[in-house]
Amino acid sequence: MKSHARAVVIGGGIVGCSVLYHLTKLGWKDVILCERKELTAGSSWHAAGGFHALNSDLNVSKLQAYTVRLYKEIQDLSGQDIGLHFTGGLNIAATRDRWDLLRADWARHRVLGLDTRLVGPAEIREMCPLIDVSEVIGALYDPMEGHLDPYGATHAFAKAARQNGAEIYRHTTVTELQSNADKSWNVITDQGTIVADHVINAGGLWAREVGQMAGVELPVVAMEHHYLLTDDLPEIESAVHEMPLILDLDGEIYLRQERSGVLLGVYEKEATPWALNGTPWDYGETELLPPHLERLTDSLEKGFRRFPSLANAGIRKVVNGPFTFSPDGNPLVGPVPGAPNFWAACGVMAGFAQGGGVGLALAQWMIEGEPEGDIYAMDVARFGSYATRPYAIARAREFYARRFQIAYPNEVWRAGRPTKTSAVYPDLKASNAVFGVSYGQEVPLFFASPGTIATENSTVRRSNAFPIVREECLASRHAFGLIDISSFGKYRVAGSNAGAALDHLLAGRLPDAGQIRLTPMLSPSGKLMGDLTTLCLTPEEYIVSGSGYLQGWHMRYFAAHLAAANATIENVTDHYGGFAVFGPKARAVLEALTAEDVSNDRFPFMTARRMAVGLSPAIVARLSVTGELGYEIYIPVLQMSATLDELKPLLKRYAGRWVGMYALNSMRLEKSFGIWSREFSRDYSPHAAGLGRFVDYKKPSFVGREAALRDRDTQPARRLVTLAIEADGADATGYEPIYRADKLIGFVTSGGFGHCVGTSLAMGYVDAEVQRESEELTVTLLGEPRGARLVHQALVDPSGSRMRS
């Protein structure tokens, strides 16, 4: 056994072996994998081996497509047969909503370059002789789906890694991890100790236990899952082609051909977590869990109505095995916050669809400093300390049980809520708020009418919120709107060196004392890492604010790049709650709460200061994402409620109203203001995203400067635009394709209805040469082409006079 290595991967399942292979592929040869038993001894050996590229997150989809494309290459490289069957796959719709969603997905696949197509019942029946199509509307067919031999695929990655120089130690259990001052790790195994610069947790079913060895609690939960193998079926025996993978969510069943029978599985509603007190170290390799077919009965009965011949098929084998879920079902990948050089590659629910992509992204991150694309949807930092063990269990159970239900774009899931609430949550509730969740915290989406039930109907079209959000927007533009902004991310940077440290971290020019500036943050390769707002209280104290759900992500990046003596950064999001008031009456509201002179002359746009608001010491920033005259008022959490008591009478006096995030989204679209994860993300550079004007290219040094200069001098292929769409009952949600005649010229990043301008709006990236407002464009909404046109000027107050008034 070697005593030193650049990296040690813990776990020889499909994910660990893929990580090992990709590390060697990208150039690290001095890498080791430790496996407790034999390779595949966790979940991997008993997987059904199905793979597909489709995922509701488009960046995860890209990585899944990469995984699928990789299999042939890895088989050829390693010489290991992986039993690859590219059968194609059918995703069946038997309800109108499911069909609408599949058609919308199909349109989005044009943007991704996936070769999917929509097929009707007759063609479905031709591909699958077992199905009764009497209730089927159609299906989405993806030729890139299929199945493989899990053992072969795992060993193929392992062999290819070995060929590149990696070493694999089987029957070597990692029992302890000790961190060293130089950020290396002592990886203590039952066969000896390896000192590693980096450790990767690919422990699968044991990932939580491996995390605990490094002092971190990862939100992964193992769930039981069954599939059945049938005896041979005459319809399959006589078929000319292999049957495609079938995912029939309305029928609550999935299946694929296995020899001349089928492998069929369900996601039972009675989701059952496994080994809640810790995965036993002696589990695995050949063991399975006792079957509980009674849990499957309801779903199977439904499935057999669609596939009648399965009802009488003999069952050859029943598999009940565990595999892990994160709270949202996506993997946990990347540098684990709080544990330097300890990397996560776990919580991978679909290892044979995602393992290749996870391995690639992680290896890029470790070796090149960042993954190529935006993989926030898989980033381990997307969960914070709120994601406790009970939270993770509740969420994993809900995710599992809902696998076969429609996930509506406007749906907020129920499990693990409420776990984190604003200090004025009871008031928000009493005002009939309908809540969403951001980084665990309940945030108001809109306020249902008094006397009605506070709920939003789940739909692919406009919901019952639509007319209410209109009222919220109109009140904001004509009187004032009030929103709880406690969930916004807030970071305090302080110390004698605070300015210099921030100046290096942020690409924008820092504000002077009392000023506010928009300050993009870049990665070393010049991609956007944050659309932050920086507020300077004194040259030694700054408040940086950004999207609240990115707190863990931001803090990890700050820790890595804000390395200066005499400068500290602290996440104060949970210390400061806050309200934003915006609209023509916003100043009158603030004046009623403070003795300070807040006239435009004394307190102009993009300035900030400390002042007493009501009885509370507050930091007040004069800006608003709505484009109205507005203020963000940050207040110590314990004083939020008292301040609200003083604010409430003003709602009546100035005809204001509570508003939620939906109204904010509508109003920012009317102003063509982009937001993070949509218009701005690691997928874009500042120049293409229209943020170049906030980058101070003259600064001698900042993270990403060289790349930013190159970006500035390059004409981007696509640019960010706003579109007005002739929508009918449904607005764009994101990634819908944009066409000029038949040519795909771009895609939507976000959309909604502009209630104050009376039109459906979207933002998106289009080919740079598409310039004229008169161009006739279309955007595909729920599968239907809708006329669209570019809007060059903000539709509300294009000169920005209101926010400066």
Ligand X SMILES: Cc1cc2nc3c(=O)[nH]c(=O)nc-3n(C[C@H](O)[C@H](O)[C@H](O)COP(=O)(O)OP(=O)(O)OC[C@H]3O[C@@H](n4cnc5c(N)ncnc54)[C@H](O)[C@@H]3O)c2cc1C
Q: Tell me the site size for ligand X, rule CB under 6 A.
A: 43
User: Measured from the CB atom, is 300 or 688 closer to ligand X?
Assistant: 300
Among 9, 53, 107, 202, indicate the residue that binds ligand X (CB under 6 A).
202
Name the pairing type of β-strands 489-494 and 576-582. Answer: unpaired
Gyration radius of the chain's alpha carbons = 27
User: Measured from the CB atom, is 46 or 492 closer to ligand X?
Assistant: 46
Among 88, 284, 334, 511, indicate the residue that binds ligand X (CB under 6 A).
284
Distance CA 302, CA 273 (A): 23
Who's near 665: CB < 8 A, 6+ residues apart? Answer: 675, 750, 752
Host H or E run for residue 490: strand 489-494
Residue 8 found at the interface with ligand X (CB under 6 A): no
Question: 322 to 341, contacts with ligand X by CB under 6 A?
Answer: 322-323
User: Measured from the CB atom, is 204 or 577 closer to ligand X?
Assistant: 204
Contact region with ligand X (CB under 6 A), list: 97-105, 114-122, 346-354, 763-771: 346-354
Contact region with ligand X (CB under 6 A), list: 348-356, 361-369, 370-378, 630-638: 348-356
Contact region with ligand X (CB under 6 A), list: 198-206, 297-305, 488-496, 683-691: 198-206
Site string for ligand X, 203-222 (x = CB under 6 A): xxxx---x------------
The token pair that represents 96 in the structure block: 């109108």
| Residue 17 near residue 132, CB atoms below 8 Å | no
The token pair that represents 233 in the structure block: 């079926």
Contact region with ligand X (CB under 6 A), list: 68-76, 202-210, 407-415, 764-772: 202-210
CB of 358 to ligand X, least distance (A): 8
Name the pairing type of β-strands 743-754 and 737-740. Answer: antiparallel
Residue 351 found at the interface with ligand X (CB under 6 A): yes
CB of 39 to ligand X, least distance (A): 7
Residue 144 found at the interface with ligand X (CB under 6 A): no
Burial of 526 (0-12, 13-18, 19+ CB in 10 A): buried
Residue 146 found at the interface with ligand X (CB under 6 A): no
Among 47, 443, 479, 623, indicate the residue that binds ligand X (CB under 6 A).
47
**DSSP class per residue in 782-802:** TTEEEEEEEE-S-SS-TT-HH
Going 373 to 379 to 382 to 384, the CA torsion angle's sign is negative
**DSSP class per residue in 725-780:** E--SS----S--EEEETTEEEEEEEEEEEETTTTEEEEEEEEETT---TT--EEEE
Name the pairing type of β-strands 657-658 and 481-484. Answer: parallel
**DSSP class per residue in 130-160:** T---TT--EEEEETT-EE--HHHHHHHHHHH
Among 44, 230, 487, 681, indicate the residue that binds ligand X (CB under 6 A).
44
Residue 173 found at the interface with ligand X (CB under 6 A): yes
Q: What share of the chain is helix, strand, coil (3-state, %, to 5)?
A: 30, 30, 40
Nearest to 202 by CA among 163, 161, 174, 223: 174
Residue 174 found at the interface with ligand X (CB under 6 A): yes
Among 349, 510, 724, 732, indicate the residue that binds ligand X (CB under 6 A).
349
Residue 245 found at the interface with ligand X (CB under 6 A): no
Among 7, 41, 406, 723, indicate the residue that binds ligand X (CB under 6 A).
41
The token pair that represents 634 in the structure block: 């940050």
Question: 87 to 126, contacts with ligand X by CB under 6 A?
Answer: none
Contact region with ligand X (CB under 6 A), list: 46-54, 232-240, 540-548, 771-779: 46-54
Residue 10 found at the interface with ligand X (CB under 6 A): yes
Residue 399 found at the interface with ligand X (CB under 6 A): no
- Angle between helix axes 661-670 and 465-478 (nearest 10 degrees) is 60
Contact region with ligand X (CB under 6 A), list: 319-327, 378-386, 427-435, 471-479: 319-327
Binding site for ligand X (CB under 6 A): 10-16, 34-37, 41-44, 46-51, 173-174, 202-206, 210, 225, 227, 284, 319, 321-323, 346, 348-353
